[in-house]
Amino acid sequence: MDIALLEVLVEHHNNGDHAQNGWKYHVYSAVIGNVREKCNVTITKENISSRCKTFEKHYEAISKMLSQSGFGWDWINNKLSIDSEDVWIKYVAANKKVGFYKNKVIKNWDAITTIYSKDHANGEGAVTGAETVVEPTMEPNEASP
């Protein structure tokens, strides 16, 4: 069900339908329809919101770990990779609430990061190489004494 839900959210996120305070109304309708069609399950806007809060919680905790030295993402097993037990013990000592992530499988990490990453490229503000070329100005050179 998460795959059906996330594929619609990623599509609408890429279309700019993900506002800072949530999804536009038509996105919920699209998700409900896609989940019904692909999984034969009826869900509600509240179900979607609840699942999104879970995804966001995972994103915040895991991305914080990934920004630290000693952590990586295991794309094959869909979980954190940790350089050493010492790295893990030190991190959990300072962040007790994340202890369960050591062996937790988080599927669809690529979709979750697309939706929740603050610096994900969306094309806005992009310019081509030709647009960045600056024409030289013909200002007189001031001779130094």
Torsion of CA 74, 102, 88, 67, to 10 degrees: 50
Please, are residues 108 and 3 in contact by the beta-carbon 8 Å criterion? yes
Residue 122 located in a structural domain? no
Residue 22 located in a structural domain? yes
Angle subtended by helix axes 109-116 and 2-14, to nearest 10: 30
Residue 129 located in a structural domain? no
Task: List, for residues 50-95, the tens digit of each pLDDT value.
Answer: 999 999 999 999 999 999 999 999 999 999 999 999 999 999 999 9
Res 19: pLDDT: 77
Q: Residue 112 is part of which domain span?
A: 1-116
Residue 40 is encoded by which pair of tokens?
């034969």
